[in-house]
Structure 1
Amino acid sequence: MSVEAGEKAPDFSAATDGGKKLKLSDLRGKPVVLYFYPKDDTSGCTAEACGFRDALPDFSKVKAQVVGVSKDSVARHDKFRAKYDLTFPLVSDEDGKICEKYGTWVEKSLYGRKYMGIERATFLIDKTGTVAKVWHKVKVPGHVAEVLEAVKGLK
Protein backbone atom coordinates (compact mmCIF):
# COMPACT_ATOMS: atom_id res chain seq x y z
CA MET A 1 0.00 0.00 0.00
CA SER A 2 1.28 3.41 -0.93
CA VAL A 3 1.04 6.49 1.23
CA GLU A 4 -1.49 8.88 -0.30
CA ALA A 5 -2.22 12.61 -0.10
CA GLY A 6 -3.88 13.60 3.16
CA GLU A 7 -2.07 10.95 5.23
CA LYS A 8 0.70 11.61 7.73
CA ALA A 9 4.10 10.93 6.18
CA PRO A 10 5.62 7.86 7.85
CA ASP A 11 8.61 8.94 9.93
CA PHE A 12 11.99 7.32 9.53
CA SER A 13 15.55 7.74 10.65
CA ALA A 14 18.28 6.58 8.28
CA ALA A 15 21.90 7.00 7.25
CA THR A 16 22.68 9.48 4.49
CA ASP A 17 25.71 10.29 2.39
CA GLY A 18 28.58 11.82 4.32
CA GLY A 19 27.98 9.49 7.27
CA LYS A 20 25.11 11.59 8.61
CA LYS A 21 21.66 10.59 9.85
CA LEU A 22 18.38 12.08 8.74
CA LYS A 23 15.12 11.87 10.68
CA LEU A 24 12.14 12.97 8.61
CA SER A 25 10.26 14.47 11.58
CA ASP A 26 13.27 16.76 12.24
CA LEU A 27 12.38 18.54 8.97
CA ARG A 28 8.88 19.55 10.15
CA GLY A 29 8.14 23.22 9.72
CA LYS A 30 9.13 23.28 6.06
CA PRO A 31 7.96 21.42 2.97
CA VAL A 32 9.88 18.25 2.09
CA VAL A 33 10.23 16.76 -1.38
CA LEU A 34 10.91 13.08 -0.70
CA TYR A 35 11.75 11.31 -3.93
CA PHE A 36 12.43 7.60 -4.41
CA TYR A 37 14.62 6.44 -7.27
CA PRO A 38 15.92 3.01 -8.35
CA LYS A 39 19.72 3.32 -8.48
CA ASP A 40 22.59 5.80 -8.22
CA ASP A 41 24.47 6.73 -11.39
CA THR A 42 21.99 5.33 -13.92
CA SER A 43 20.70 7.56 -16.71
CA GLY A 44 17.18 8.31 -15.44
CA CYS A 45 18.20 8.58 -11.81
CA THR A 46 21.12 10.87 -12.66
CA ALA A 47 18.87 13.11 -14.79
CA GLU A 48 16.35 13.33 -11.95
CA ALA A 49 18.99 14.05 -9.29
CA CYS A 50 20.66 16.70 -11.46
CA GLY A 51 17.24 18.25 -12.16
CA PHE A 52 16.60 18.64 -8.43
CA ARG A 53 20.17 19.91 -7.95
CA ASP A 54 19.75 22.55 -10.64
CA ALA A 55 16.41 23.68 -9.18
CA LEU A 56 17.61 23.82 -5.56
CA PRO A 57 17.83 27.64 -5.52
CA ASP A 58 14.13 27.73 -6.45
CA PHE A 59 13.23 25.12 -3.82
CA SER A 60 15.27 27.10 -1.26
CA LYS A 61 13.25 30.26 -2.02
CA VAL A 62 10.14 28.42 -0.82
CA LYS A 63 12.11 26.87 2.09
CA ALA A 64 11.64 23.32 0.79
CA GLN A 65 14.05 20.48 1.55
CA VAL A 66 14.77 17.90 -1.17
CA VAL A 67 15.66 14.37 -0.03
CA GLY A 68 16.46 11.41 -2.32
CA VAL A 69 15.95 7.79 -1.25
CA SER A 70 17.25 4.57 -2.82
CA LYS A 71 18.52 1.20 -1.63
CA ASP A 72 22.11 2.12 -2.52
CA SER A 73 24.71 2.08 0.25
CA VAL A 74 26.04 5.22 1.89
CA ALA A 75 29.36 4.66 0.06
CA ARG A 76 27.57 4.58 -3.33
CA HIS A 77 25.63 7.71 -2.38
CA ASP A 78 28.90 9.46 -1.47
CA LYS A 79 30.34 8.67 -4.92
CA PHE A 80 27.13 9.67 -6.72
CA ARG A 81 26.88 12.91 -4.77
CA ALA A 82 30.52 13.83 -5.45
CA LYS A 83 30.38 12.91 -9.16
CA TYR A 84 27.35 15.15 -9.82
CA ASP A 85 27.87 17.80 -7.12
CA LEU A 86 24.57 16.98 -5.42
CA THR A 87 23.91 19.20 -2.44
CA PHE A 88 20.85 17.59 -0.87
CA PRO A 89 20.74 14.47 1.33
CA LEU A 90 20.60 10.99 -0.19
CA VAL A 91 19.09 8.46 2.20
CA SER A 92 20.38 4.89 2.15
CA ASP A 93 17.49 2.43 2.54
CA GLU A 94 19.51 -0.77 2.15
CA ASP A 95 17.02 -2.88 4.14
CA GLY A 96 14.06 -1.46 2.18
CA LYS A 97 12.05 -0.45 5.26
CA ILE A 98 11.45 3.13 4.07
CA CYS A 99 10.43 1.93 0.59
CA GLU A 100 7.98 -0.48 2.23
CA LYS A 101 6.50 2.27 4.44
CA TYR A 102 5.86 4.44 1.39
CA GLY A 103 4.78 1.61 -0.92
CA THR A 104 7.54 2.17 -3.46
CA TRP A 105 8.98 -1.38 -3.35
CA VAL A 106 6.91 -2.94 -6.12
CA GLU A 107 6.85 -5.69 -8.69
CA LYS A 108 8.23 -4.44 -11.99
CA SER A 109 8.46 -5.99 -15.41
CA LEU A 110 11.18 -5.66 -18.03
CA TYR A 111 11.06 -7.61 -21.28
CA GLY A 112 8.52 -9.97 -19.71
CA ARG A 113 10.70 -10.69 -16.67
CA LYS A 114 9.13 -9.80 -13.33
CA TYR A 115 11.28 -8.57 -10.46
CA MET A 116 11.05 -6.37 -7.36
CA GLY A 117 12.38 -2.83 -7.50
CA ILE A 118 11.84 0.78 -6.47
CA GLU A 119 9.05 2.62 -8.24
CA ARG A 120 10.21 6.11 -9.14
CA ALA A 121 7.87 8.19 -6.96
CA THR A 122 7.82 11.58 -5.26
CA PHE A 123 6.00 12.60 -2.09
CA LEU A 124 5.44 16.27 -1.29
CA ILE A 125 5.14 16.61 2.46
CA ASP A 126 3.82 19.87 3.90
CA LYS A 127 5.27 21.67 6.92
CA THR A 128 2.95 19.76 9.30
CA GLY A 129 4.21 16.37 8.12
CA THR A 130 1.15 15.55 6.00
CA VAL A 131 1.53 14.24 2.45
CA ALA A 132 0.17 16.99 0.19
CA LYS A 133 0.73 15.33 -3.21
CA VAL A 134 2.07 12.06 -4.61
CA TRP A 135 3.53 11.28 -8.02
CA HIS A 136 3.73 7.57 -8.93
CA LYS A 137 5.63 6.07 -11.88
CA VAL A 138 7.41 9.36 -12.43
CA LYS A 139 8.66 10.26 -15.89
CA VAL A 140 11.78 12.38 -15.38
CA PRO A 141 11.36 15.08 -18.09
CA GLY A 142 9.40 18.00 -16.61
CA HIS A 143 8.95 16.34 -13.21
CA VAL A 144 11.12 18.71 -11.16
CA ALA A 145 9.27 21.76 -12.54
CA GLU A 146 5.92 20.15 -11.73
CA VAL A 147 7.02 19.39 -8.14
CA LEU A 148 8.31 22.96 -7.72
CA GLU A 149 4.95 24.37 -8.82
CA ALA A 150 3.18 22.13 -6.31
CA VAL A 151 5.51 23.30 -3.52
CA LYS A 152 4.80 26.92 -4.41
CA GLY A 153 1.07 26.16 -4.13
CA LEU A 154 1.33 24.93 -0.53
CA LYS A 155 -0.16 27.12 2.17
Structure 2
Amino acid sequence: MSELKPGDKAPDFTLPADGDRQVSLRELQGKSVVLYFYPKDDTPGCTKEAIGFSEAIDEFDAAGAVVIGVSKDTVAKHDKFRDKHDLKVMLASDESGEVVEAYGAWVEKNMYGRTYMGIERCTYLINSDGVIQQVWRKVRVKGHVEAVLEAVKAS
Protein backbone atom coordinates (compact mmCIF):
# COMPACT_ATOMS: atom_id res chain seq x y z
CA MET A 1 0.00 0.00 0.00
CA SER A 2 1.33 3.43 -0.87
CA GLU A 3 1.98 5.96 1.85
CA LEU A 4 -0.69 8.59 2.45
CA LYS A 5 0.39 12.13 1.72
CA PRO A 6 -1.09 15.64 1.63
CA GLY A 7 -3.78 15.88 -1.03
CA ASP A 8 -4.92 12.26 -0.58
CA LYS A 9 -8.45 11.48 0.57
CA ALA A 10 -8.27 10.33 4.21
CA PRO A 11 -9.44 6.73 4.66
CA ASP A 12 -12.86 6.72 6.33
CA PHE A 13 -13.30 4.87 9.62
CA THR A 14 -15.76 4.24 12.41
CA LEU A 15 -14.25 3.22 15.73
CA PRO A 16 -15.42 2.75 19.30
CA ALA A 17 -14.04 5.47 21.60
CA ASP A 18 -13.67 6.20 25.29
CA GLY A 19 -16.75 7.15 27.27
CA ASP A 20 -18.90 4.64 25.39
CA ARG A 21 -18.82 6.75 22.21
CA GLN A 22 -18.24 6.03 18.55
CA VAL A 23 -16.29 8.21 16.18
CA SER A 24 -16.59 8.26 12.41
CA LEU A 25 -14.56 10.41 10.04
CA ARG A 26 -17.58 10.79 7.76
CA GLU A 27 -19.59 12.33 10.61
CA LEU A 28 -16.84 14.89 11.25
CA GLN A 29 -17.08 16.35 7.74
CA GLY A 30 -17.02 20.14 7.97
CA LYS A 31 -14.43 20.13 10.76
CA SER A 32 -10.67 19.74 10.71
CA VAL A 33 -9.52 16.49 12.30
CA VAL A 34 -6.21 15.91 14.04
CA LEU A 35 -5.80 12.13 13.96
CA TYR A 36 -2.82 10.94 15.93
CA PHE A 37 -1.64 7.36 16.26
CA TYR A 38 0.28 6.27 19.32
CA PRO A 39 1.70 2.93 20.50
CA LYS A 40 0.15 2.33 23.92
CA ASP A 41 -1.93 3.87 26.70
CA ASP A 42 -0.13 4.96 29.84
CA THR A 43 3.45 4.69 28.57
CA PRO A 44 5.70 7.74 29.11
CA GLY A 45 5.77 9.20 25.57
CA CYS A 46 2.13 8.44 24.85
CA THR A 47 1.03 9.95 28.16
CA LYS A 48 3.04 13.12 27.50
CA GLU A 49 1.55 13.43 24.02
CA ALA A 50 -2.05 12.88 25.20
CA ILE A 51 -1.61 15.39 28.04
CA GLY A 52 -0.09 17.89 25.58
CA PHE A 53 -3.05 17.62 23.21
CA SER A 54 -5.46 17.77 26.18
CA GLU A 55 -3.85 20.96 27.54
CA ALA A 56 -4.29 22.62 24.13
CA ILE A 57 -7.81 21.25 23.49
CA ASP A 58 -9.51 24.64 23.91
CA GLU A 59 -7.24 26.12 21.24
CA PHE A 60 -7.96 23.21 18.88
CA ASP A 61 -11.70 23.67 19.56
CA ALA A 62 -11.45 27.39 18.85
CA ALA A 63 -9.71 26.60 15.54
CA GLY A 64 -12.54 24.19 14.64
CA ALA A 65 -10.50 21.01 14.99
CA VAL A 66 -11.35 17.70 16.63
CA VAL A 67 -8.43 15.78 18.17
CA ILE A 68 -8.57 11.97 18.15
CA GLY A 69 -5.89 9.64 19.49
CA VAL A 70 -5.85 6.09 18.10
CA SER A 71 -4.13 2.98 19.42
CA LYS A 72 -4.92 -0.74 19.50
CA ASP A 73 -5.76 -0.57 23.21
CA THR A 74 -9.30 -1.50 24.28
CA VAL A 75 -11.94 1.11 25.11
CA ALA A 76 -11.73 -0.01 28.77
CA LYS A 77 -7.98 0.77 28.79
CA HIS A 78 -8.69 4.12 27.11
CA ASP A 79 -11.24 4.97 29.82
CA LYS A 80 -8.70 4.19 32.56
CA PHE A 81 -5.97 6.17 30.77
CA ARG A 82 -8.33 9.15 30.28
CA ASP A 83 -9.46 9.15 33.91
CA LYS A 84 -5.98 8.67 35.36
CA HIS A 85 -4.53 11.67 33.47
CA ASP A 86 -7.70 13.78 33.09
CA LEU A 87 -7.40 13.65 29.30
CA LYS A 88 -9.65 15.85 27.16
CA VAL A 89 -8.98 14.25 23.77
CA MET A 90 -11.11 11.50 22.30
CA LEU A 91 -9.35 8.13 22.38
CA ALA A 92 -10.44 5.67 19.69
CA SER A 93 -9.82 1.94 19.91
CA ASP A 94 -8.60 0.10 16.81
CA GLU A 95 -8.16 -3.41 18.21
CA SER A 96 -8.28 -5.00 14.75
CA GLY A 97 -5.59 -2.62 13.49
CA GLU A 98 -7.50 -1.90 10.26
CA VAL A 99 -7.39 1.90 10.64
CA VAL A 100 -3.79 1.82 11.89
CA GLU A 101 -2.89 -0.12 8.71
CA ALA A 102 -4.98 2.10 6.41
CA TYR A 103 -3.02 5.13 7.60
CA GLY A 104 0.34 3.36 7.32
CA ALA A 105 1.01 3.58 11.06
CA TRP A 106 1.64 -0.18 11.49
CA VAL A 107 5.38 -0.44 10.83
CA GLU A 108 8.40 -2.56 11.51
CA LYS A 109 10.19 -1.24 14.57
CA ASN A 110 13.57 -2.00 16.00
CA MET A 111 14.50 -1.82 19.66
CA TYR A 112 17.65 -3.21 21.25
CA GLY A 113 18.36 -5.18 18.07
CA ARG A 114 14.92 -6.82 18.14
CA THR A 115 12.62 -6.28 15.17
CA TYR A 116 8.86 -6.27 15.70
CA MET A 117 5.67 -4.71 14.32
CA GLY A 118 4.12 -1.79 16.16
CA ILE A 119 2.39 1.56 15.84
CA GLU A 120 4.56 4.41 14.65
CA ARG A 121 3.79 7.68 16.41
CA CYS A 122 2.37 9.79 13.59
CA THR A 123 -0.24 12.51 13.11
CA TYR A 124 -2.53 13.44 10.23
CA LEU A 125 -4.23 16.79 9.78
CA ILE A 126 -7.40 16.18 7.77
CA ASN A 127 -9.29 19.19 6.41
CA SER A 128 -13.06 19.74 6.54
CA ASP A 129 -13.46 17.99 3.15
CA GLY A 130 -11.77 14.80 4.37
CA VAL A 131 -8.50 15.46 2.55
CA ILE A 132 -5.13 15.01 4.25
CA GLN A 133 -3.48 18.40 4.63
CA GLN A 134 -0.34 17.52 6.54
CA VAL A 135 1.43 14.40 7.80
CA TRP A 136 3.94 14.07 10.63
CA ARG A 137 5.80 10.73 10.69
CA LYS A 138 8.12 9.37 13.40
CA VAL A 139 6.88 12.06 15.78
CA ARG A 140 8.99 13.29 18.67
CA VAL A 141 6.63 14.39 21.44
CA LYS A 142 8.47 17.58 22.43
CA GLY A 143 7.07 20.53 20.45
CA HIS A 144 4.70 18.33 18.41
CA VAL A 145 1.39 19.62 19.78
CA GLU A 146 2.51 23.20 19.10
CA ALA A 147 3.50 22.34 15.52
CA VAL A 148 0.14 20.66 14.87
CA LEU A 149 -1.80 23.55 16.44
CA GLU A 150 0.10 26.02 14.26
CA ALA A 151 -0.79 23.99 11.14
CA VAL A 152 -4.47 23.84 12.20
CA LYS A 153 -4.58 27.61 12.70
CA ALA A 154 -2.90 28.18 9.32
CA SER A 155 -5.35 25.93 7.47
| Counterpart amino acid of residue 17 in structure 1 | D
Who is 2:129 aligned against? 128
CA distance in 1, matches of 2:12, 2:114: 33
CA distance in 2, matches of 1:47, 1:89: 15
Does the 8 A contact of 1:2 with 1:104 survive in 2?
A: no
Who is 2:89 aligned against? 88
Deviation at 1:148, TM superposition (A): 0.4
Task: Summarize deviations over 1:38-86 as a string: whole Å, max 9, x none.
Answer: 0000000000000000001111111110000000001000000111111
CA distance in 1, matches of 2:90, 2:3: 22
Who is 1:76 aligned against? 77
Who is 1:15 aligned against? 16
| Identity value in percent | 57
Task: Summarize deviations over 1:94-140 as a string: whole Å, max 9, x none.
Answer: 11000110000000000110000000000000011000000000000
| Counterpart amino acid of residue 117 in structure 1 | G
Runs of 4+ more than 3 Å apart = none
CA distance in 1, matches of 2:60, 2:40: 23
Specify every segment of 5 or more residues in structure 1 that has no aligned partner in the other structure, as ranges: none
For residues 4-153 of structure 1, the aligned pairs below 5 Å read 4-153=5-154
Deviation at 1:88, TM superposition (A): 2.1
CA distance in 2, matches of 1:3, 1:34: 13
Q: TM-score, normalised by structure 1?
A: 0.97
CA distance in 1, matches of 2:148, 2:81: 22
| Counterpart amino acid of residue 48 in structure 1 | E
Does the 8 A contact of 1:2 with 1:101 survive in 2?
A: no
Aligned-pair RMSD on alpha carbons? 0.7
SS of the residue 1:18 aligns to: coil
Q: TM-score, normalised by structure 2?
A: 0.97
Deviation at 1:13, TM superposition (A): 0.6
SS of the residue 2:39 aligns to: coil
CA distance in 1, matches of 2:137, 2:89: 21
Aligned residues: 154
Deviation at 1:2, TM superposition (A): 2.7
SS of the residue 2:19 aligns to: helix
Specify every segment of 5 or more residues in structure 2 that has no aligned partner in the other structure, as ranges: none
